[in-house]
Amino acid sequence: MNNLEFRLDQHSPTPLYQQIAKQVRQFIATEQLKPGDHLPTVRELAHDLNINQNTVSRAYLELEQEKVISARRRGGTIVVAGMDDPSITIARQKRLSEIVSDDIVKVLSLGYSPEDLEAAFYLHLARWREERRGVPEKPESDSKTSIKPDTIRIVGSHDLALTILTDLVKQSNEKTNFDIVHAGSLGGLIALQEDRAHLAGIHLLDEETGEYNYPYIKRILPGREMAIVHLVYRIQGLMFARGNPKNISGIPDLKQPGITFVNRQEGSGTRVLLDIHLRQLGINPKEIKGYEREMETHLAVGLSISRGEADAALGIEAAARSCDIDFLPLFRERYDLVIPVAGYRGNLLAPLLATVASREFKEIVDKAGGYDTSQTGTTTFL
Segments of 127-188 assigned E as strands:
151-156, 177-182
What is the overall mean pLDDT for the chain?
A: 89
Measured in degrees and rounded to the nearest 5, phi and psi for residue 316 equal: -95, 155
The answer on pLDDT for 257 being more than 80 is: yes
pLDDT of 138 reads: 43
pLDDT digits (tens, 9 = 90+) for 62-83: 998 888 888 876 668 888 855 5
The answer on pLDDT for 281 being more than 70 is: yes
Coil, strand or helix: which one is 335?
A: strand
The counts of H helices and E strands in the chain are 14, 12
pLDDT digits (tens, 9 = 90+) for 77-109: 888 855 555 655 666 677 778 888 888 999 999
- Among 38-42, 55-59, 92-96, whose mean pLDDT is lowest? 92-96
Burial environment of residue 158 by CB neighbours within 10 A (0 to 12, 13 to 18, 19 or more): buried
pLDDT of 129 reads: 80
pLDDT of 136 reads: 45
> How far apart (Å, rounded) are the C-alpha atoms in residues 344 and 365?
23
Coil, strand or helix: which one is 337?
A: strand
Question: Higher confidence at residue 352 or residue 118?
Answer: 352
- When pLDDT is averaged across residues 26-47 and rounded to a whole number, the result is 87
- Percent of the chain having pLDDT more than 90? 70
What is the end-to-end Cα distance of the chain in Å, rounded? 58
pLDDT of 89 reads: 64
Q: Which of 223, 206, 321, 211 is nearest to 275 (CA)?
A: 206
Measured in degrees and rounded to the nearest 5, phi and psi for residue 345 equal: -90, 0
pLDDT of 292 reads: 96
pLDDT of 134 reads: 58
Instruction: Please give the single-letter amino acid code of residue 58.
Output: R
Which residue segments constitute the domains of the chain, with CATH numbers given? 1-111 (1.10.10.10), 151-381 (3.40.190.290)
Q: Where are the alpha helices (DSSP H) in 232-316?
A: 269-281, 298-306
| Cα atoms found within 13 Å of the Cα of residue 155, Cβ hemisphere only | 23
pLDDT digits (tens, 9 = 90+) for 139-197: 444 544 566 778 999 999 999 999 999 999 999 888 899 999 999 999 999 999 999 99
> How far apart (Å, rounded) are the C-alpha atoms in residues 236 and 332?
6
Burial environment of residue 141 by CB neighbours within 10 A (0 to 12, 13 to 18, 19 or more): exposed
The answer on pLDDT for 370 being more than 60 is: yes
